[in-house]
């Protein structure tokens, strides 16, 4: 299999949401002596970006995004151990710990943001719903995260985003992590008022905001 054929196989595997196909192509890349960094950079990454763009245009939806992200993860899992250290750092844009705040069990919006961040190349640790402020910080510490992202879908739970800022300050974690907030009742003004670093109205903007926070163009 030529390099071009392997790259095509990786791309088509992602675009057809086929985990097995991506895994096989990734194995083949290593067997053929292909640079694993290039397999990710020129094979998987453009394909997952394409998936993200289709989602943005509403041509595909969350289930497709999830299947594509799973296929991407399967490929990276095969290729990652073969990367040298400096290459490994380049593959992941950054780590994001994400969750819905305490008292709130809405998950879909948060899951869409998590998937779009994954598709963009971030490593995402999803803490789930009803997440207490200390669990956000513990999760970020455990993962050595760059960003904490907190979602709130109700006006009487968005106050937990403010509490998260206060808790981070109280335990000396505010300067360690960038903080993004989002959700139905949340807006730019609220984010500014509570002292968050960024607000994103939707998943597409969340990716842009996360990149901007880490200085990635």
Partner 1 sequence: MISFWEIARRAEFGPMMKEEDFDMRLARTAMELAKEHDITYDPSVYVSSDDGLADEVWQAGIELLTRCGVYNASNKRVIEIKEEEIKEALKHARGEIEVGKGKDRVRIRARGVEGSDPPTIISGPFGVETTIEAFVPMNQAFAQEPLIDVLFHGGHIQSLNGVETIRANSAFEVIAARLYAELMNQALVLAGRPFMPQVWIPGGVGDLNELAAEGAQIHNREDIFLTMLLLPELKVNDYKLSEVAHFMNFGHPIYGGATPVIGGYAGGPDTAAIVAVATNLALKLVARADLIHIGPQHFRYRSQTNPASLWMNSVMGQAVARNSKLITTTSVTTAGRPGSMQMHLEAAALAICSVVSGRNVTGPRPAQPLYPNHHNPLHSRLFAEVAKAATRLKREDANEIVARIVSTYKDTLDFEKSPKGKTFEQSYDVKTLKPTEENLKLYEEARAKLIDFGLEIEG
Distance of closest approach, residue 95 Cβ to partner 1, in angstroms: 20
Could you write out the DSSP letters of every residue in 155-212? TTTTHHHHHHHHHHHHTT-TTTSEEEEESTT--HHHHHHHT-SEE-SSHHHHHHHHHH
Question: Nearer to partner 1 by C-beta: 79 or 129?
Answer: 129
Say how far residue 5 (Cα) sits from the centre of its chain: 28
Rounded CA separation 53/46 (Å): 10
Distance of closest approach, residue 104 Cβ to partner 1, in angstroms: 7
Question: Nearer to partner 1 by C-beta: 6 or 203?
Answer: 203
Question: Nearer to partner 1 by C-beta: 58 or 81?
Answer: 58
Distance of closest approach, residue 210 Cβ to partner 1, in angstroms: 19
Distance of closest approach, residue 19 Cβ to partner 1, in angstroms: 12
Q: Which residues bind partner 1 (CB under 8 A)?
A: 58, 61-63, 66-67, 102-109, 111-112, 154-157, 159-160, 163, 184-185, 187, 201-202
Backbone Cα Rg of the chain:
18
Question: Nearer to partner 1 by C-beta: 93 or 154?
Answer: 154
Residues 79, 122 contacting (CB under 8 angstroms): no
């Amino acid at each position: 299999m030529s390099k071009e054929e392997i790259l095509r196989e990786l791309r088509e595997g992602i675009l057809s949401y086929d985990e097995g196909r991506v895994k096989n192509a990734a194995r083949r890349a290593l067997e053929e002596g292909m640079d694993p960094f290039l397999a990710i950079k020129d094979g998987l990454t453009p394909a997952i970006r394409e998936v993200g763009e289709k989602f943005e245009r509403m041509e595909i939806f969350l289930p497709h995004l999830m299947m594509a992200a799973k296929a991407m993860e399967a490929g990276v899992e095969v290729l990652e151990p073969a990367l040298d250290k400096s290459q490994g750092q380049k593959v992941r844009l950054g780590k994001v710990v994400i969750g819905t705040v305490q008292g709130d069990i809405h998950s879909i919006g948060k899951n869409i943001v998590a998937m779009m961040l994954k598709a963009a190349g971030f490593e995402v640790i999803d803490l789930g719903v009803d997440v207490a402020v200390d669990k956000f910080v513990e999760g970020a510490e455990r993962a050595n995260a760059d960003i904490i992202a907190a979602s709130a879908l109700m006006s009487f739970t968005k106050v937990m985003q403010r509490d998260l800022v206060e808790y981070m300050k109280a335990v000396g974690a505010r300067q360690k992590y960038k903080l993004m907030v989002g959700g139905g009742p949340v807006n730019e003004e609220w984010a500014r008022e509570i002292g968050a670093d960024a607000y994103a109205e939707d998943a597409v903007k969340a990716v842009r905001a996360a990149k901007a926070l880490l200085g990635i163009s």
